[in-house]
Structure 1
Amino acid sequence: MNANQCIKIAVYSLDLPHYACADLRIVTPFRKLREHLDFRWAVQDCNGQSRIDAEPAEWADLIVVQRYFPLKETSPLLEIILASGKPVVFEIDDLLLDVPPTHPLFHNFQKTAPFIRQLIPKVDVVTVSTDALRDRLLEFNPNTLTLPNFIDEAAVTPAIPLADPMKTVIAYMGSPTHDQDLKFIEDALFRVKEKFGEATEFIFWGCAGTRLAKLGRVIPFDDSYASFLKSLGKIHFDIGLAPLADNAFNRCKSNIKWLEYSAHARTGIFSDLEPYRESVEHGKTGMLVGDDPKEWFEALEYLISNPDQRKAMGRAARKDAFARFGLSKGVHRYLELYKGLLKR
């Protein structure tokens, strides 16, 4: 194809384009590259049912298949796509081959796992969000590459000023699938409330069990990632929480919570696991803690009692996040990958 010609990409994903994974991994980066590529979302939602269109695959120069699209029902279309001779990229940002039974969507992912396992060796490239996930998938396809999540600087609005400087607002943000991750820090959060009382406020955004719902304000989950980012800039919080239960699935997750909190210059407390170890410099751009509730209490106690250090961490985290993971600095990696595939 001509070097100046737009690359045409068909995307086959059962995620709606406004969902977080679709937005972060495909829609926003592709829109940033609109001068270089054109894309069509090949799956439409029709009253809760997915309508899959084969035509974009014929139109495209390159095809991206995302996450749990591989299923028994989609296998015939995938065989046609693989036989087309066009480059095929499988994009995945979770270890869907090893989902813990405690995950609310375990049974759904069990249906897609064998078909993902069949597809991965057949595609030209597998793109993943973390090195840990890459290492788990390399045995299935040696052309597995890490394409990290990037935060869109243009989508981040300045956080609103604090209404009550004597109150520390502690927030958790996540989808409703994270109940198990929150459970092991519940006691720590209640200890914080017991010690600091009205000087603290809790916000649970998108996920809160029955017990935690009594502790603070619950904001319903918003499945639009762009809408979530806009709201994030309008709601004040001082400390962000990112607990993760220690299992293979979570160890392959990305640093997205650090990126979201840091982009708004807010200090976070993060589980000391792979998703955050390579991003967070403990005590400088956030805090890393183990799975002992006592460690979470002590980290919260420190940040509540030392607001100047907390704010300095938030500012340093924002600078670091944009420097290493700003979309404007990393989006070229998508274009380089796709151009390279089309030259083969």
Structure 2
Amino acid sequence: MKLILIKFGKAWMTIRKNGILKGGQRILEYLFIFLKLLFGAKKGDVLFITGGVGDSAHYRSHNVAEELKKHNFKCSVMIQDNPFLYRYANNFKVFIFQKTISTPTLQRLIDEIKKQKKEIIFETDDLIFDEKYLHQMDYWKQMDKFTKQQYEGGQGSELLKDNYVKTCTTTTTFLKNKLEQYNKKVFLVPNRICDEELKIANKLYSNLQPTTYNLKTIKIGYFSGTISHNKDFATITDTLINIMDKYKQVKLVLVGPLDIENKLNKYSDRIEQLPMVSRRKHYANIASVDINISPLEIDNEFCQAKSALKFFEAGIVGVPTVATATQSFQDAILDGRNGLVASNEKEWFEKLERLITDNEFRAKMGAEARKTVLKKYTIKNSNNKEYYNYLRKLI
């Protein structure tokens, strides 16, 4: 019942943000993924148990499973709603719990795993495991009571605090340091682009014309992804106003759930707002802009925990990024070499201005970003030997 109520709450928020038509379409897409994950996990080495079907599950369960398969592990992904989940304790050697919610069914699986003395790995890509950080989520106050249930006490905290669980995986150095405070062995397993999306991105990139970087209109794109980014975007609203006042050729493309401030209303004829789309269409939207921006609240620990995902999703289609100078973005972006990072309004303005006015520089940043992504952020070129060797000892 708890899982049903949480899913009802999420569905309602999706419709409320996107409308009945677009929201309903999004829900149907998630429902299709949900049904695929409910049953049918084949016997193998590693089972990913995921609490949801969104982008987090895509990157942290499906994509990591694909990466492990490429390195000769037998993996399956299953959503925790399966009523016979406990039976799978017999079929795998390693169990990776990704943003799961504590339920009797899940606990029965955990008990079975412990009886057989098999490995449990706790996986997270943000700070929701610790309830003291929840108030830093921008949309925490907007959540309905059903959705909030999944975060009560910290999502997955019962596993993280369990002495049986010795190992964690995560996305960033910032999160790795936080998890190590629980006396766990923590492996850094970066987010990567899967092979299918790489093919889509490569095709989009190959269709770019030499004139792409010499257009009269410059589109700055912001891809919010979730409903938790209103405050992040607000950190650069004044900068964008100054940019749009000075450069009349600039347009904004805002994709995903985002409430923009009233002071941007005077530019409504130069702002295009688009709903969230499927993963396949997502890269086409990114490829349609000239500059990608990824602002974050720099003093917010929840934001510091985020990966450089926004950089590599844009970089793979040759779009340069300006991002807030968090640790993760500074690890991924060499400022002025494969993208740009900014720490304050002055730097945001200067770096956006250079990309707007210097076509050659903009093209170079996009090309260098793509080189970086191909080398470091694709499953095709993954090579996390320490983690693979650890898993091999368990199977």
- Contact 1:93/1:129 (8 A) holds in 2: yes
* Aligned-partner Cα distance in 2 for 1:303–1:71: 50
| Residue 319 (structure 1) shift | 0.8
1:130 corresponding residue in structure 2: 172
1:24 and 2:59 matched: yes
| Residue 32 (structure 1) shift | 4.8
1:3 corresponding residue in structure 2: none
Amino acid at match of 1:294: K
1:264-315: per-residue Cα shift (whole Å, max 9, x none)?
111110101112111111111111111x333322221111011111111111
- Contact 1:265/1:318 (8 A) holds in 2: yes
Amino acid at match of 2:97: V
1:140 and 2:182 matched: yes
* Aligned-partner Cα distance in 2 for 1:79–1:113: 21
2:233 corresponding residue in structure 1: 182
1:286 and 2:336 matched: no
Secondary structure of 1:190's aligned partner: helix
Relative to structure 1, the CA distance from residue 87 to residue 116 in structure 2 (aligned partners, 3 Å threshold; closer, same or farther) is same
Secondary structure of 2:152's aligned partner: helix
In structure 1, which of residues 96, 112, 116 is the aligned counterpart of residue 157 of structure 2?
116
Relative to structure 1, the CA distance from residue 102 to residue 11 in structure 2 (aligned partners, 3 Å threshold; closer, same or farther) is closer
2:363 corresponding residue in structure 1: 311
**Aligned 1:247-258 pairs, distance under 5 A:** 247-258=300-311
1:170 and 2:225 matched: no
Relative to structure 1, the CA distance from residue 238 to residue 115 in structure 2 (aligned partners, 3 Å threshold; closer, same or farther) is closer
Consecutive unaligned residues of structure 1, counting only runs of 5 or more, are: 1-5
Relative to structure 1, the CA distance from residue 74 to residue 248 in structure 2 (aligned partners, 3 Å threshold; closer, same or farther) is same
- Contact 1:68/1:112 (8 A) holds in 2: no
More helix by share: 2
| Residue 237 (structure 1) shift | 1.0
In structure 1, which of residues 237, 240, 260 is the aligned counterpart of residue 289 of structure 2?
237
Secondary structure of 1:341's aligned partner: coil
* Aligned-partner Cα distance in 2 for 1:30–1:278: 24
Relative to structure 1, the CA distance from residue 277 to residue 75 in structure 2 (aligned partners, 3 Å threshold; closer, same or farther) is same
- Superposition TM-score, scaled by structure 2 size: 0.74
* Aligned-partner Cα distance in 2 for 1:207–1:266: 22
- Contact 1:94/1:133 (8 A) holds in 2: yes
1:206 corresponding residue in structure 2: 256
**Aligned 1:300-339 pairs, distance under 5 A:** 300-330=352-382, 333=385, 335-339=388-392
Amino acid at match of 1:216: I
Amino acid at match of 1:99: L
Consecutive unaligned residues of structure 2, counting only runs of 5 or more, are: 1-42, 142-147
- Contact 1:43/1:52 (8 A) holds in 2: no
Secondary structure of 2:306's aligned partner: coil
More strand by share: 1
In structure 1, which of residues 91, 100, 114 is the aligned counterpart of residue 135 of structure 2?
100
* Aligned-partner Cα distance in 2 for 1:69–1:242: 29
- Contact 1:10/1:57 (8 A) holds in 2: no
| Residue 69 (structure 1) shift | 3.1
- Contact 2:86/2:112 (8 A) holds in 1: no
| Residue 114 (structure 1) shift | 6.8
- Contact 2:44/2:76 (8 A) holds in 1: no
1:216 and 2:268 matched: no
Amino acid at match of 2:154: A
| Residue 110 (structure 1) shift | 3.7
* Aligned-partner Cα distance in 2 for 1:114–1:319: 36
Segment drifting more, 84-93 vs 304-313: 84-93
1:9 corresponding residue in structure 2: 46
Relative to structure 1, the CA distance from residue 184 to residue 73 in structure 2 (aligned partners, 3 Å threshold; closer, same or farther) is farther
Amino acid at match of 2:157: I
**Identity %, equivalent residues:** 21
- Contact 1:72/1:115 (8 A) holds in 2: no
